[in-house]
Amino acid sequence: MAEKDQGDSEKRLAIMKIYLKDFSFESPLAPQVFKESDWAPQTSLNMRSAHTAVDDKHHEVVLTISVEAKDSEKKKTLFLVELHQAGLFEIGGFSREEFGALIGSFCPNILFPYARESIAGIIQKGGFPEFVLQPINFDALYMQSLQQQQQKGDGTKPETH
Q: How confident is the model at residue 40 (pLDDT cuts 50, 70, 90)?
A: confident
Q: How confident is the model at residue 4 (pLDDT cuts 50, 70, 90)?
A: very low
Task: Choose among 119, 122, 121: nearest CA to 111.
Answer: 119
Q: Are 20 and 118 in contact (CB under 8 A)?
A: yes
List of residues 6+ apart from 109 with CB closer than 8 A: 136, 138, 139
What pLDDT score was predicted for residue 152? 83
What pLDDT score was predicted for residue 135? 92
| Across 27-43, average pLDDT | 88
Task: Choose among 43, 33, 40: nearest CA to 73.
Answer: 40
Q: Are 111 and 33 in contact (CB under 8 A)?
A: no
Express each pLDDT in 82-111 by its tens digit.
999 999 999 999 999 999 999 999 999 999
Task: Determine the topology of domain 11-152 in CATH.
Answer: Bacterial Protein-export protein SecB (3.10.420)
Name residue 159's beta-bridge partners. Answer: none
What pLDDT score was predicted for residue 151? 87
CA pair distance 74, 104, nearest whole angstrom: 37
| Spatial strand order in the sheet of 42-53 | 12-26, 77-92, 58-70, 42-53
Domain ranges for the chain: 11-152
